[in-house]
Structure 1
Amino acid sequence: MSSAAAATAPAAEGAPKKSKKLLFIIIGVVVLALIGAGAAFFILKKNTAEPSDGHEEEAVAEYHAPEPGTPPTFLPLDSMVVNLADPGGNRFVQLAITLQVQDAKVSDAIKIYMPSIRNGILMLVSQRTAEEILKPEGKEKLATAIIEEISMVMGYELDEPSEEGAKKRRRRAPPNPLQGVLFSSFIVQ
């Protein structure tokens, strides 16, 4: 029996050595994982950091003068079907709009605000009657209203219309990067 007891004693001493190695391996893996997570957090925070002066900077509202001869960028919107404000409520318009913008950066910025922009356009169109929007002047007014709506959502400044005979001079807003609204489809039923 003494030989059996002697055989189990070294086996019992060998088990704690193995568990200590396993413990050190697990601790090492956890420490490496924490270091990796900290490095990833630092890199991601550095890439998405806000300006340090405390003021929020809106990249959307910045104006960058286009290079001369640079063609505009066109951003087509999904087609929309909108009920019109006609009596009886049985008239609607199907329209497809393409926005003419200064460059691809402005196009990307507009895509970020697209749900708000589409909502604003739908609200503008739904306030008009078929008679109003079938006239060329009505389409021009709608296009101007759409530019104003998108500019408001994006934070672009617009020149206020000057009253005739007004002697006050107002500060001119920087040129609007939203250059135009083009109707690629306009069907009233």
Structure 2
Amino acid sequence: MASKTNGETQASRNPGESGVEPKARRGRAMLMMVSVVLLLGAGGAAATWYFNRGQDAAAPQPPVFVSMETFTVNLQSEYNDQHLQTSLTLKVGDAAAAEQVKLHMPELRNRVLLLLSGKAAAQIATTEGKEKLASELALAVNRTFGEAHPGWPVERVLFTSFVIQ
């Protein structure tokens, strides 16, 4: 029986079958290698795209500023006549926004003059008063381009000079 078992074992290992098994293993191994290479290539391509996209989005755009002519207005009278002389610069998103601002400059100057002349010296003499005034000016200027416009061109209003007399 031992020889029969050996015979069966040898019969199950006949040369035709043993030749097929290594070919199947080689085919599976080759398929696995190709799959791994494709996955690594796809992962590398995805990583390259992701990191390059992040660099492009993170590249800061240079700021664009539009200067306005000097404003001289009479302030609201508290005790005696007081005047404000100020120069403003508008920070805008890009060159297209700067062109929009320049196109509407007369209307923007009108809005700024009306807002400034409605203030009293005590309201705008402090740093907090100036910051609040800058926010109000930005809102007034942006209203020229439509109410609740999501992409308002003016990001900030900056004072380049500010004198109360």
For structure 2, list consecutive stretches of 5 or more residues without a partner in the other structure: 1-56
Match of 1:90 among 63, 81, 88: 81
Contact 1:75 1:99 in 2 (8 A): yes
Match of 1:124 among 96, 103, 115: 115
Instruction: Read off the aligned partner of 1:187 and give its amino acid letter.
Output: V
Overall identity of the aligned pairs, in %: 35
Query: In the alignment, which residue of structure 2 is the partner of 1:182?
Result: 158
Question: Radius of gyration: which is bigger?
Answer: 2
1:102 aligns with 2:78: no
2: CA distance, partners of 1:122 / 1:151: 15
For structure 1, list consecutive stretches of 5 or more residues without a partner in the other structure: 1-65, 159-173
Q: Which moved more, 1:82-91 or 1:95-104?
A: 82-91
Say how many residue pairs are matched. 109
2: CA distance, partners of 1:156 / 1:70: 27
Query: In the alignment, which residue of structure 1 is the partner of 2:127?
Result: 136
Structure 1 pair 156/90, CA: closer, same or farther in 2 (3 Å)?
same
Q: Deviations 1:28-68 (Å, cap 9, x if unpaired)?
A: xxxxxxxxxxxxxxxxxxxxxxxxxxxxxxxxxxxxxx984
Contact 2:145 2:152 in 1 (8 A): no
Root-mean-square deviation (CA), in Å? Answer: 1.9
